[in-house]
């Protein structure tokens, strides 16, 4: 079976997906070679070029086939990830050599969390209802307090398994994040945390409806489009909320979503924030965590942000709609290679029978280039979900990043972006209108940079402070710039990379260039263009910019226009 054809969801395996097991000799089918675009400028994924030394990169062709009866398996990220997880959680065997990551020795570790030590006085522990990698969950009944008589869930984390500083910090951060985010209707509610000499006890809402994975299996492996929409809206709603707070979950999968009750229309709740972390909008994480089937390519390359969660949601959506995994192999190493190299199949049943909007929705989440992937807020605004009831699109942090980049751009690039904004479709404009209105424009229809600060305060939690998102927003609000009306806001908040990931990108760019020719294009010298772009004297501008300008009239060429839209820097030219 080719890796790009997925595999139907089968009966559940007792072993965990997150634990990276052995490196096998699984065959890897030749994934379809991605065709280079005939488009004058195509921005490829940065992953292969930026992370040449990544443990995820492998090469099968280098094996000397004529010497060995069968080729050696290609270098796999599985061993590397297994070692990272082992170091993180202190499960390295005594005879295994390793590179230390912080304190690895249990001797002298401070396992006192400062939680209340009277768990037994407040709760009576019941039977086990679930088990994870580093703990287990039991039902319990409250003996006293505001929850007296109420059934709850208690996650029990043995301190004996906390053998590294990192493992202890993971538990501390999980409790902190749960406390900060509690209140969203699609996130399991956290009530309290306790500890004794042996365990940490995290008291949470008890969800009795079972896992999303179980419900998928009970439906024969897949959902109808309408039922899938109901699930996706709830998942995207809670993930958009987390991302706005600067929290990335890092282990989104059907097993980590529970239904409150057995009712068919029960509310869905996200659980297990044990691998979650804070991430600032302009920073990247580099530790490799997650579950093999749902891990994003950039996680394997050790440079990622909230976009990694969106990839995982794309995998869940793919499974919901067709009953198969988009990437499959017999071993974890094979799965990783499929994630990096293979394209999911949309040719086999039931995909041809599904709506074009459903296919586009999943494809735009499973784009290997994280820059072209939809954000959670954008996914909620996608045409596939636009007509679904009760869809509330939250503030999207990508708007803040794009506006910041726009303000720092040259006047020429701003003119180019203004032309591109005029080509946007009704759904794209609806998303931007929603984001604009959440910033609170005045009666004249303008927003100031201060609006970016006040627009975020109403959604702020302690997690937003811990992730330093608040600091980032304060920095943006302090920038001196004129007030923006909706037209300029669209130019500022447009993502060129995301547009480029759409099948209609070339039409957008061609139409925008026509508009630019009428209103913004003018004769320009190479030296002036270099100055507009802020290029340093070390860049050989006559070499790198010669095809940006038409020789016939000295105006910006179409190629130059498209490159200008993406934004350039001296560093990008030096890399080229």
pLDDT tens-digit profile of 37-53?
455 544 555 554 454 44
Q: Which residue, among 365, 388, 386, 368, has the nearest Cα to 376 in the 3D structure?
A: 365
Please give the span between the terminal C-alpha atoms of the chain, in angstroms, as a whole number: 38
- The answer to whether 143 and 122 have CB atoms below 8 angstroms apart is yes
Per DSSP, 549 falls in state B
User: How are the residues of the chain apportioned to helix, strand and coil, as percentages rounded to the nearest 5?
Assistant: 45, 10, 45
pLDDT of residue 44: 54
Catalytic residue among 23, 251, 277, 369, which?
251
Question: In Å, how far from its chain's centre is CA 143?
Answer: 40
pLDDT of residue 8: 55
pLDDT of residue 381: 95
Helix (H) / strand (E) element for 137: namely: strand 136-142
d(CA 429, CA 541): 37
Phi-psi region of 90 (alpha: psi -120 to 50; beta: other; left: phi over 0): left
Helix (H) / strand (E) element for 153: namely: strand 151-158
On whether 458 is known to bind a ligand per the annotation, the reply is no
Q: In what order do the strands lie in the sheet with 199-205?
A: 123-131, 136-142, 151-158, 199-205, 190-195
Q: How many CB atoms lie within 10 A of CB 529?
A: 19
d(CA 415, CA 565): 9
d(CA 134, CA 428): 43
DSSP codes of every residue in 193-253: EEE-SSEEEEEEEPP-S-BHHHHHHHTTT---HHHHHHHHHHHHHHHHHHHHTTEE-S--S
pLDDT of residue 569: 52
Question: Domains along the chain?
Answer: 1-21+38-104+209-394 (1.10.510.10), 119-205 (3.30.200.20), 397-575 (1.10.238.10)
pLDDT tens-digit profile of 536-550?
788 888 888 888 988
Is residue 251 part of the annotated active site? The answer reads yes
pLDDT of residue 66: 29
Residues of the chain with pLDDT below 50 are 1-6, 13-37, 41-42, 48-49, 51-76, 92-105, 570-571, 573-576
């Amino acid at each position: 079976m080719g890796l790009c054809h997925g595999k139907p969801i089968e009966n559940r395996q007792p072993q965990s997906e997150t634990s990276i097991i052995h490196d096998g000799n699984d065959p890897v089918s030749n994934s379809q070679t991605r065709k280079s675009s005939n488009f004058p400028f195509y921005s490829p994924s940065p992953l292969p070029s930026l992370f040449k030394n990544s443990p995820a990169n492998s090469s099968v062709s280098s094996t000397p086939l004529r010497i060995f009866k069968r080729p050696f398996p290609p270098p796999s990220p599985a061993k590397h990830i297994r070692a990272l997880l082992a170091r993180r959680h202190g499960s390295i065997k005594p005879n295994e050599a390793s590179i230390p990551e912080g304190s690895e020795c249990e001797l002298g570790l401070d396992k006192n969390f400062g939680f209340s030590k009277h768990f037994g006085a407040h709760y009576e522990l019941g039977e086990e209802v679930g088990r994870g990698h580093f703990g287990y969950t039991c039902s319990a009944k409250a003996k006293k307090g505001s929850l007296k008589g109420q059934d709850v869930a208690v996650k029990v984390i043995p301190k004996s398994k906390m053998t590294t500083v990192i493992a202890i910090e993971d538990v501390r951060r999980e409790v902190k994040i749960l406390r900060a985010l509690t209140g969203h209707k699609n996130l399991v509610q956290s009530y309290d945390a306790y500890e004794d000499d042996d365990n940490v006890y995290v008291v949470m809402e008890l969800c009795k409806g079972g896992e999303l994975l179980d419900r998928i299996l009970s439906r024969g492996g897949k959902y109808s489009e309408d039922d899938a929409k109901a699930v996706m809206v709830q998942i995207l709603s809670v993930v958009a909320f987390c991302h706005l707070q600067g929290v990335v979950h890092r282990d989104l999968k059907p097993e980590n979503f529970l239904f409150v009750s057995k009712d068919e229309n029960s509310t869905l709740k996200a659980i297990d924030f044990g691998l979650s972390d804070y991430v600032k909008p302009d920073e990247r994480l580099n530790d490799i965590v997650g579950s093999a089937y749902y891990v994003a390519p950039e996680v394997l390359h050790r440079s990622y942000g909230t976009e990694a969660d969106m990839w995982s949601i794309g995998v869940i959506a793919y499974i919901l709609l067709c009953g198969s995994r988009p990437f499959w192999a017999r071993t974890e190493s094979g799965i990783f290679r499929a994630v990096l190299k293979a394209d999911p199949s949309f040719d086999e049943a039931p995909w041809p029978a599904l709506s074009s909007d459903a296919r586009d929705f999943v494809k735009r989440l499973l784009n290997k280039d994280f820059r072209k992937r939809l954000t959670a807020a954008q996914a909620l605004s996608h045409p596939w979900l636009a007509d679904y009831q009760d869809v509330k699109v939250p503030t999207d942090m990508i708007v803040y990043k794009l506006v910041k980049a726009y303000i720092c751009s040259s006047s020429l690039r701003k003119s180019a972006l203004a032309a591109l904004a005029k080509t946007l479709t009704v759904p794209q404009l609806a998303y931007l209108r929603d984001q604009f209105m959440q910033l609170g424009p005045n009666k004249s229809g303008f927003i100031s940079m201060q609006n970016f600060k006040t627009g975020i305060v109403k959604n702020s939690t302690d997690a937003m402070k811990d992730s330093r998102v608040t600091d980032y927003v304060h920095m943006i609000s302090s920038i001196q710039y004129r007030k923006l009306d909706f037209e300029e806001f669209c130019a500022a908040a447009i993502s060129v990379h995301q547009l480029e990931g759409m099948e209609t990108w070339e039409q957008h760019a061609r139409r925008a260039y026509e508009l630019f020719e009428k209103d913004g294009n003018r004769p320009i010298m190479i030296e002036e263009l270099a100055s507009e772009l802020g290029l340093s004297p070390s860049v050989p501008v006559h070499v790198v910019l010669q095809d940006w300008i038409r020789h016939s009239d000295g105006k910006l060429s179409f190629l130059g226009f498209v490159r200008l839209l993406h934004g350039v820097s001296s560093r990008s030219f030096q890399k080229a």
